[in-house]
Structure 1
Amino acid sequence: MLKDLASLIIKHTAPSRRHLTPELVLRLITPACPLWRAREEEIPFKEPFWAFYWPGGQATARYILDNGEMVKNRRVLDIGCGCGAGTIAAVKMGASRVLANDIDPYAVAATSLNAEINDVSVETSMEDLIGTNCTEFDTILIGDMFYDEEFANILFDWLQRLRGEGKTRNRLFLTIFSLNDDAKSNIQRAQLHENLCGRWTFKRKALN
């Protein structure tokens, strides 16, 4: 099944290095792709979040590539892996195991495809791991998954439980594009220590 999905992904995306991690080649929907300007009914994918390299995902992967010691020899879980950039970065930086997790089969297929393009092997899962104990992992990556208030609350409740059970040990990488008051409140509620690892500025380019 994933091979069939990969063929469709290749048909509608383009290889790109125009992002914060140019050392990674990622197949994305870019301005050069017809789908960039397509109407919703013309898109062959349902909510193709994986086809775009979101700011939080870029920041996560960039930080890992610049600070490889944070994942080296560690077991990493990439929740909501999307295009797989964080997963690929962790593998390249020497993680002992990386599991790319997403409930969208297209995201898993895209991650596998992008991993192949970047000459790395990855392990994937479509199981919903949010809410589980994740005891076999040392580091959890969560990038750009706090866009919906209801879902963000689910995530922070889970993180709070992991912290209470001693499962995190300062091993969470959360990237939030806009750290608004609600996000800060949730971080405090989950009793997570906020540590700003980096700040990146994205330029907006007008499309004709």
Structure 2
Amino acid sequence: MSTTLGVADFVRAHTTLRPVPGLPSLLLHQADDAIDLWQTTEAHLGATGTPPPFWAFAWAGGHALARYVLEHPDLVAGRGVLDVASGSGLVAVAAAAAGAASVVANEIDGYAAAAIALNADANGFVVDVVHGDLLDGDGGAADVVFAGDVFYSRAMAQRVLAFLERARARGAQVLVGDPGRAYLPRERFTRVADYRVPVDRSLEDADTKDVTVWRVG
């Protein structure tokens, strides 16, 4: 794959736009196999050690958050939303669909940033994509902050938890979706909902995953 292919074109070329399993009202550019796409992305970049293609799948934590938002639109209706570590942008798109006044999706991965923009457009919504690291801040002016499936490593968990607690301290509502990752600090959160969601077997080695939506503070 030539590196002259643009990032957005690469996303389109290696995914299919289709409804999210279990959330048929939402469309995402989705891939069929995580490992194959990971290898293809590294070839496109001409480098190894790139992040997994979070952007091409509806990860379990984000899937549960998106479902919760669609079931509880009053949470975001008329409010400003920030979705950190947004991946495909699924939660951001769900927030827009539920009537959020504004939605920002944040990612450090350029492929994810491109996928979020494509997915928002495919669903007919406006989502502002911020490409960069926001975790040293507190979420700015967002009224509601979401983070799906972010407690997969100790270092990431520590940074995300500090960020989320700063956002909560300034008055934001903060919700996390997590399928039981090793570094989830359960004692710091309050359980608000449980879901069994469909997942891609190339990611989870299963067809479904039990996921909890937690409130911070």
Give me the TM-score of the superposition, normalised by structure 2. Answer: 0.78
Q: Secondary structure of 2:24's match?
A: coil
Q: Which amino acid aligns with 1:160?
A: E
Deviation at 1:57, TM superposition (A): 1.0
Q: Which amino acid aligns with 2:61?
A: G
Does structure 2 retain, via aligned residues, the 8 Å contact 1:156–1:187? no
Q: What does residue 66 of structure 2 align with?
A: 61
- Residue 108 in 1 paired to residue 113 in 2? yes
Q: What does residue 17 of structure 1 align with?
A: 19
More strand by share: 2
Select which of 47, 54, 71 maps to 1:49.
54
Runs of 4+ in 1 over 4 A off after TM superposition: none
Deviation at 1:49, TM superposition (A): 1.4
Q: What does residue 173 of structure 1 align with?
A: 175
Q: What does residue 148 of structure 1 align with?
A: 153
Deviations 1:23-72 (A, max 9, x none): 111101125xxxx5638544436331111211111111111111111100
After superposition, residues 155-194 of structure 1 pair within 5 angstroms as: 155-163=160-168, 166-169=169-172, 171-178=173-180, 182-183=183-184, 186-188=185-187, 192-194=188-190
Q: Which runs of 5+ in 1 are unaligned?
A: none
Does structure 1 retain, via aligned residues, the 8 Å contact 2:20–2:58? no
Does structure 2 retain, via aligned residues, the 8 Å contact 1:80–1:145? yes
Deviations 1:78-128 (A, max 9, x none): 001111111111111111111011011111110110111111111111131
Q: Secondary structure of 2:135's match?
A: coil
Deviation at 1:179, TM superposition (A): 5.9
Does structure 1 retain, via aligned residues, the 8 Å contact 2:16–2:30? yes
Does structure 2 retain, via aligned residues, the 8 Å contact 1:139–1:168? no
Select which of 116, 123, 127 maps to 1:118.
123
Q: Which amino acid aligns with 1:118?
A: N
Q: What does residue 36 of structure 2 align with?
A: 38
Deviation at 1:16, TM superposition (A): 2.3
Select which of 108, 111, 129 maps to 2:134.
129
- For 2:166 and 2:120, how far apart are their aligned partners in 1? 32
Residues 39 and 175 of structure 1: CA distance in aligned 2, closer, same or farther (over 3 Å):
closer
Deviation at 1:141, TM superposition (A): 0.5
Identity %: 29
Q: Which amino acid aligns with 2:130?
A: S
Q: What does residue 215 of structure 2 align with?
A: none
Q: Which runs of 5+ in 2 are unaligned?
A: 200-205, 208-217
Q: Secondary structure of 1:26's match?
A: strand
- For 2:6 and 2:25, how far apart are their aligned partners in 1? 27
Q: What does residue 27 of structure 1 align with?
A: 29
Does structure 1 retain, via aligned residues, the 8 Å contact 2:80–2:142? yes
After superposition, residues 58-97 of structure 1 pair within 5 angstroms as: 58-97=63-102
